[in-house]
Amino acid sequence: MRVRFLPGGLFVELFLFLNYYLFAAWVAQWYLPAGRECSPEDFMYFVYIIRSEKDGSYYTGLTGDLERRIREHNKSDTKTTRSKKPWRVIYSERCKTRQKAREREKFLKSGVGREWRNANMPR
Q: How many residues does the chain have?
A: 123
Residues 61 and 105 reside in one and the same domain: yes
What pLDDT, on a 0 to 100 scale, did the predictor assign at position 3? 46
The whole domain housing 7 covers 1-32
Residue 38 lies in a domain: no
20 Cα distance to chain centroid: 25
What pLDDT, on a 0 to 100 scale, did the predictor assign at position 50? 93
CB proximity list for 113: less than 8 A, separation 6 or greater: 60, 106, 107
Residues 96, 99, 101, 103, CA torsion sign: negative
* Cβ neighbours around 114 below 10 Å, total: 14
Residues 71 and 116 reside in one and the same domain: yes
Residue 37 lies in a domain: no
pLDDT tens digits, the chain, 123 residues: what are they?
444 555 555 555 656 555 665 555 555 555 555 444 455 555 689 999 999 999 999 999 999 999 999 999 998 877 888 888 899 999 999 998 999 999 999 999 999 999 999 998 877
What pLDDT, on a 0 to 100 scale, did the predictor assign at position 59? 93
Cβ(95)–Cβ(104) under 8 Å? yes
DSSP string, 6-27: S-HHHHHHHHHHHHHHHHHHHH
What pLDDT, on a 0 to 100 scale, did the predictor assign at position 7? 53
Residue 39 lies in a domain: no
R_g over Cα of the chain: 21
What pLDDT, on a 0 to 100 scale, did the predictor assign at position 34? 47
